[in-house]
Structure 1
């Protein structure tokens, strides 16, 4: 009666939310560490990762409290938020896995043209010049520019972009299925009777 129903669902849901708490803390700590050691230079990127981590932490705490107390309202909103997260994350993951090299290049070029600071840092760190074609008549901060043996930055960026997109897409796809599992568990758990209560009570 216990492990097969109410108690089993309760502790499985708690374990799933503890996993989300750990992932959220890793996101926050990883972003803060990356900024501290200057691995990630963009403050917007760090702030976005921390915001995602905080949001995931709050959702996980909502699910954990709802599971521990069998709170119908908290569980309903938790289930609704998880369902929305699943739809968004599944769509983004599939898009990351399906994007081809030409689409990657177009998106990267848009980002390249928007930020001069990012462009300068990429040219210095990757030792490359310009995006599509190297032009030695323009200024470039890369060391290879003076020796006239530079590669275009698109070549070097695309070598990493494909692996990164496949890693992000695969990881996101995995976690999206844990979210739909969470939705199913929450729905099932909400409709189970607590064996400690009056058997004639609805919930």
Structure 2
């Protein structure tokens, strides 16, 4: 299927940015929903997800406006932003898919030690206490703590983290190539002549 015309390029670029708008709103909504229902109590995690969603939303709006107006400067900056996003997301995808078990465990332990809020969330959700060993004298929000029969969280976290890293890596890889498609579409659309404009006008 070849999309070589001005209108086809414009519609394809608009459709891509509408998808980005929906994804950004979904990210913001899921993060807000998780915070509202107490699934995630860490404000930093929620704020980070919402921040990424808002940034993606504004990038998509920039892409929509530049595509609808065929604005050369906006299209140029949109193309640069997409190129940078492609590099970042492709790097994240490669890192997520290439990380081994030992590196994964070190990262999880470092993250565990840095945030008590995250520890409480994980212990309550996965029904476990402690990272690598269970201490009966510790404080823990897990349901198993009352019976003093809790498992350490490390093994449970690693099983979830392995799936999460593969999921994040796959999603990042997919979206990085949609951004590469966006760069290609923007570059071609930017160099096409609007058939409704003055034939003698400069492109």
Give TM-score scaled by structure 1 length: 0.92
- Deviation string, structure 1 residues 68-100 (Cα, Å, up to 9, x no partner): 110001000000000000000100011011111
- Deviation string, structure 1 residues 151-188 (Cα, Å, up to 9, x no partner): 21101111110011111110111011000000000000
Per the alignment, in what secondary structure is the counterpart of residue 4 of structure 2?
helix
- Deviation string, structure 1 residues 35-65 (Cα, Å, up to 9, x no partner): 1111111111111111111111111111101
Match of 2:24 in 1: 24
- The runs of 5 or more residues in structure 1 that have no matched partner are none
Range moving further from structure 2, 81-90 or 45-54: 45-54
- The runs of 5 or more residues in structure 2 that have no matched partner are none
Matching of residue 196 in structure 1 with residue 196 in structure 2? yes
How far apart are residue 202 of structure 1 and its match? 3.0
Match of 1:175 in 2: 175
- Which aligned pairs between 1:1-203 and structure 2 lie closer than 5 A? 4-136=4-136, 138-141=137-140, 142-145=142-145, 147-203=147-203
How far apart are residue 132 of structure 1 and its match? 1.5
- How many pairs were matched up? 200
Give the whole-Å Cα distance in 2 for the aligned partners of 1:33 and 1:144: 27
- Deviation string, structure 1 residues 130-169 (Cα, Å, up to 9, x no partner): 2122344x32424444545332110111111001111111
What value does the CA root-mean-square deviation take over the aligned residues? Answer: 1.6
Give the whole-Å Cα distance in 1 for the aligned partners of 2:39 and 2:120: 16
